[in-house]
Structures are given as structure tokens and as C-alpha cells.
Amino acid sequence: MAQQDRAIRTRRLILEAAASVFDDLGYDRATIAEVLERAGVTKGALYFHFASKEQLALAVLDEHVLDIAVEPQKIKLQEFVDAGQVLAYRLRSDPIQRGAARLAVEQGSNHLDRKQSMLAWTRFVVELLDQARDRGEIMESVVVPETAELFVGAFAGLQLMSHALTNQADLSQRLTIFFQHTLPSIAVPAILAKLNLDPERGAKLDAALQGKALADAAADAEAGVPAR
């Protein structure tokens, strides 16, 4: 394995361990020692990648947004629904998404700026909704920034409720219910009738995305390109 490859994998290993510690203990009670224990790496390896617990948390929060890139769809609003469902699915299955979600919703008694995570998500949703508007998919009455912030805020709460009641098992279903209640006020009728709000969609899309990532990595390896 090339040295650069190994460094990327070690960084990922540390990030996943840190996210699971944040998920279990929260920011305040998380320790570097616990992250080292779970990652099985040396202190030197960790500090090579991350200068502090805060840096670790910020890196975990960064992954929260960057990880969601769904397949393009004919209807842009379907991509909006899909991004939500993939995220909901990953909050069940992916330690980094779980850790990031807890960091994003904990009320700060420390220096982490949780606003940034919410604002980054809002920008992501605004962009999708603006594209949907350009294509005539959403109603004139929709104020995109308001709808985007509603989605981000409500999602945080649904995630929290699902975590408390079912350890995220019913989050996809809760998200579908949210879409069923709000999309009739957002989408024009002809688009609304074509949207797929199936709560199982997140798992299917995630599997497709993982498959594509693996195929890309295999193609890169064949071509001698370093791991992405």
C-alpha cells in the first residue's frame, strides 16, 4: 500500500473511532484516550492528523454534509427527498454520521460552533431548492431559505426523537411523514404526484452509491491513481 493510501486510511479510522466516541459520550465526556483505544492507533498517528479534540469534532461535522451526493434525477425535488433519505439511512448505519448528528444537536457549553453545521446543511438544501425552482418544480409561494431552514431544523428534531425512541430505527419513516406533510405546500401538483417518498429508498440509494464508490476505487487502482 502506498504511504499516502495508508495515511488516508489511518485518518478515516481515527475519524470513525472519534465519531463513535462522540456518539456514545457526547463532546464534553469524549477523550482522546478513548479515541486512541477504539482506533487502535498511536498517539503520534492521531496528532499527525488532528491537533485536538476540537479538530476531531470539526472534521466529523465536516463529513456530515460532504458525504451526501445522491445520483442526479429528472426531478430535482426527488434529489432533495433522496438526500434526506440517504442521510436518514446513514444515521442508522454509519458511525461518522451518528457522531456528527450528536455533535450538531448538543447545546454548546464549549467552543464548538454548531451553527456552522446547521448553516452548511441549509446552504446544501437551498441549492437543491433553487434548482427545483429554476425548473418550475416548486410553487411561487415558497420562500426557499425559509423552507430550507425548516427542513434542516425539523430533521434535527426528528433524528433526535427517533434516537430517543428507537435508536434511529424509525427515522426513515418519520422523514417520509415529514415529506408527506410538507411537500404538498412546496411542490407543484404535477411534480408532487411523481415523487417517490418510500422510506426504504434511503437504503437502496446508499447501496447503489457504495457500489459506485467501490467500482470507482477499483478503476482508479487499475489506472494507478491514488485512493480518493
Shortest CB 10 distance to a copy of itself, Å: 28
Q: Rank residues 156 and 227 by Cβ distance to a copy of itself and give the closer one.
A: 156
Assess contact for 226 and 4: CB atoms under 8 A.
yes
Shortest CB 131 distance to a copy of itself, Å: 20
106 is a contact residue toward a copy of itself (CB under 8 A): yes
The stretch near a copy of itself (CB under 8 A) out of 64-72, 80-88, 109-117, 201-209 is 109-117
Interaction with a copy of itself in 11-40: which residues (CB under 8 A)? 24-26, 28-29
75 is a contact residue toward a copy of itself (CB under 8 A): no
140 is a contact residue toward a copy of itself (CB under 8 A): no
Residue from 126, 154, 188, 227 binding a copy of itself (CB under 8 A): 154
Residue from 1, 66, 109, 228 binding a copy of itself (CB under 8 A): 109
Residue from 38, 53, 90, 174 binding a copy of itself (CB under 8 A): 174
Shortest CB 65 distance to a copy of itself, Å: 15
Interaction with a copy of itself in 188-217: which residues (CB under 8 A)? none
Full 3-state SS string of the chain: CCHHHHHHHHHHHHHHHHHHHHHHHHHHHCCHHHHHHHHCCCHHHHHHHCCCHHHHHHHHHHHHHHCCCCCCCCCHHHHHHHHHHHHHHHHHHCHHHHHHHHHHHCCCCCCCCCHHHHHHHHHHHHHHHHHHHHCCCECCCCCHHHHHHHHHHHHHHHHHHHHHHHCCCCHHHHHHHHHHHHHHHCECHHHHCCCCCCCCHHHHHHHHHHHHHHHHHHHHHHHCCCCC
What is the contact surface with a copy of itself in residues (CB under 8 A)?
24-26, 28-29, 102, 105-109, 114-115, 118-119, 146-147, 149-150, 152-165, 174, 177-178, 180-182, 184-186
